[in-house]
Amino acid sequence: MDPVTLAASYSAAKVAISACKSALETADDLSQIGGHLDAIFGANSEVKKNKKAVERSHNEKVVESRLGEQDGSVDDPTTLAGAMREQVAHEEHEEALNSLRKALNARFGEDTWDNIIERQKIAIAAKKKREAAAREAELERQERNKRILAEVAKGAGVLFCATLIGFWLYYAATSGGAIK
């Protein structure tokens, strides 16, 4: 994955978590921090997509200074330094999320974080179900349109054949040909 994209996703996650924590101090209910939580979950999903980190924390810099020169490029996740840097970034991100989870649970009740995660899973499943139903309805509409078009084409074909037969009979009757 692009290192710049991953750095941006970790940075966005950190900013969203800190903004949510500061909003949490003054919030009266969860609806007042809902936008911040949405930003966190969006940034968190980006972080999960981009497993390779670029921005280096203090701990990562220490690891890189000790292992970077002897182990190869620190941006390469196949090297020991790169793998350690990636793991440290992941652990720091998980620690920040865990801290937010504890703060939410302390402020709004013991199962607040778990309830939020569960509601999000339910909403995602419902959205997928609606999208699948919409795709199914679209396929049915397309199939119905194909059947209608086929029936119209059949009707047009029959009408065309009947018109040809009519013209042929008219021609045969008016030309005074073979039948008397």
Domain boundaries defined on the chain: 3-110
pLDDT value at residue 159:
97
Residue 113 · residue 105 · CB < 8 Å: yes
Pairwise CA distance, residues 161 & 156, whole Å: 9
**Separation between Cα atoms, residue 47 and residue 74, nearest integer Å:** 19
pLDDT of residue 52: 46
Whether residue 56 contacts residue 64, with contact meaning beta carbons closer than 8 Å, is answered with yes
- Amino acid identity of 10? Y
Collect contacts of 119-126 with beta carbons under 8 A, ≥24 apart.
Answer: 120/41
The predicted structure's pLDDT at residue 2: 47
Q: Of 70, 148, 29, 87, which Cα lies nearest the Cα of 37? A: 29
Q: What is the pLDDT along the chain (180 residues), one digit of tens a residue?
A: 445 565 566 667 777 777 777 776 766 666 667 776 777 777 777 666 665 444 556 666 666 666 655 545 556 666 777 677 777 777 877 888 888 888 888 888 888 888 888 998 999 999 999 999 999 999 999 999 999 999 999 999 999 999 999 999 998 888 876 555
Predicted local distance difference test score (pLDDT) of residue 76: 66
pLDDT value of residue 14: 73
Is the pTM higher than 0.85? The answer reads no
How many Å from the N-terminal Cα to the C-terminal Cα in the chain? 88
Give 88: exposed, middle or buried? Use CB within 10 Å, 0-12, 13-18, 19+: buried
CA 150/CA 55 separation, integer angstroms: 60
